[in-house]
Amino acid sequence: MHVYSPLTLNCGTTLNNRIVKAAMEENMADAEHAPSAELIRLYQAWAQGGAGLLITGNVMVDRTAMTGAGGVVLENANQLPRFQAWAQAVQQHGAHIWMQLNHPGRQMPKDLGQTAYAPSAIALNLGSLSKQFAPPQALSTDHIEAIIERFVHSAQLAEQAGFNGVQIHAAHGYLLSQFLSPLSNVRTDDWGGDLRQRARLLLEIVRRIRALVAPTFAVAVKLNSADFQRGGFSAADAKTVVMWLGELDVDVVELSGGSYEAPAMQGLSRDGRSLAREAYFLEFAQDIATVATMPLMVTGGIRRLEVAEQVLNSGVALVGMATALALNPNLPKAWCQPNAPVPLLKPITWRNKPLASAANMAVVRQQLKRISRGATPQTDASAAWALLRNQWEMRGRSKQYRAWVAQAR
């Protein structure tokens, strides 16, 4: 299978190649937390670079539940023209665009000034960084139902804005991932307990969205292949959940892994397992592919054509890339030429893994801003400087966010 082969999904739409720009958290919303002009230009650059599908950075379904300041929110139609412009900027270059929908649960910065909610009142364990996140309150059953409706409504708004599909974020330790993990979900009601009950929230959101959007509108899920924490959501659990998602006509399942506590999505784990330098989750995907009835997508460290083709030849249908496209937005086109450059960041070898993860994200965000301005990414950027600069910017954006929420109330 070649990366430039088309792929027709269960919903009937066809992607013109197998290369996907996976979601990254850009934090580039405008003052109203809609897509900014800079964010739209960034996605236009990626679409021009040749990827067949672009999945947005997480779009929040609730303005009071954010993964960080500067995030995009879609909870009503007030800013729909901005979202329409976002979709059109990508589609005019022949690519599809899916909106990733998310809720942070307990992984919400404390300085945003909002109450954090989670399946259970269990705080993040990040060592000295734990104080940056408020201890969460356990969700009531009514609040859970309201969250389901928010995901469904945001998906309908994404369809109205002209997006080709949505991806439900159930990985990386965010709310739906928290429900799936027995480490963060110790509920004893219908939303906790065995795996079926812990997966109920994800499955219900997918079922209701699929029932209300057009048959040609793609519905995808991002799922951890494992949490990479002992006693957490396991590879066997992931395999079972993928089987259940197949019964709901899901179009694609993207396999990733990890959380803030164990950032395996950046090649780091907490349970002692070592991860490959590229295609971190391919081994898990090959096992899950034996039961999957939908195309699978693997994301995690892929930056070379030969690795991408290895992924496709293993039975995985789509190759997801994030950091590589933050360093070279034209990489899909570059792969058509011999001796294509391999985009690499300087490794961050700090002992504190959560801090190293935050620094890595800060470096990547720095490159996204450069691309949005038409500048060339810097692969030798200083991690410490990027982290300090990002923290300074986020402090200002957090203040702006708190004022925006207060005004809305």
Which residues are CB-contacts of 125 (< 8 A; sequence separation ≥ 6)? 261
- What is the pLDDT, as a whole number, of residue 241? 97
At 82, the amino acid letter reads: R
- For residue 357, give both structure tokens: 């993860």
Distance CA 149, CA 58 (A): 17
CA angle 323-100-109, nearest 5°?
A: 75
Rounded Cα–Cα distance for residues 258 and 78 (Å): 34
What pLDDT score does 188 carry? 97
Inter-residue contact 309 to 288 (CB < 8 Å): no
Distance CA 141, CA 119 (A): 10
pLDDT at 374: 93
Residues shown for the chain: 409
Beta-strand relationship, 7-8 and 14-15: antiparallel
Locate the domains of the chain by residue range. 7-341
pLDDT of residue 269: 40
pLDDT of residue 274: 35
Asked whether 238 and 224 are in contact (CB, 8 A), the reply is yes
Q: What pLDDT tens digit does each residue of the chain (409 aa) get? A: 689 999 999 999 999 999 999 999 999 999 999 999 999 999 999 999 999 999 999 999 999 999 999 999 999 999 999 999 999 999 999 999 999 999 999 999 999 999 999 999 999 988 878 888 989 999 999 999 999 999 999 999 999 999 999 999 999 899 999 999 999 999 999 999 999 999 999 999 999 999 999 999 999 999 988 666 777 888 899 999 999 999 999 999 999 876 676 554 444 443 333 334 455 567 788 889 899 999 999 987 889 999 899 889 988 999 999 999 999 999 999 998 888 888 888 888 888 877 888 898 899 999 999 999 999 998 888 999 999 999 899 899 999 999 999 987 7
Neighbours of 230 (CB within 10 A): 11
Provide the CATH number for the domain formed by 7-341 in this structure. Answer: 3.20.20.70
d(CA 27, CA 16): 28
Buried b (16+ CB within 10 A) or exposed e, 239-260: bebbebbeebbbbbbbbbbbbb
Indicate the pTM of the whole model. Answer: 0.93
User: What pLDDT is recorded for position 273?
Assistant: 38
Q: What is the pLDDT of residue 125?
A: 85
What angle, 0 to 180 degrees and rounded to 10, lies between the N-to-C axes of helices 80-91 and 37-48?
20
Place of tokens 């303005």: 63
The pLDDT of residue 232 is: 80
pLDDT at 275: 38
Residue 347: burial class (beta carbons within 10 Å; 0-12, 13-18, 19+): exposed
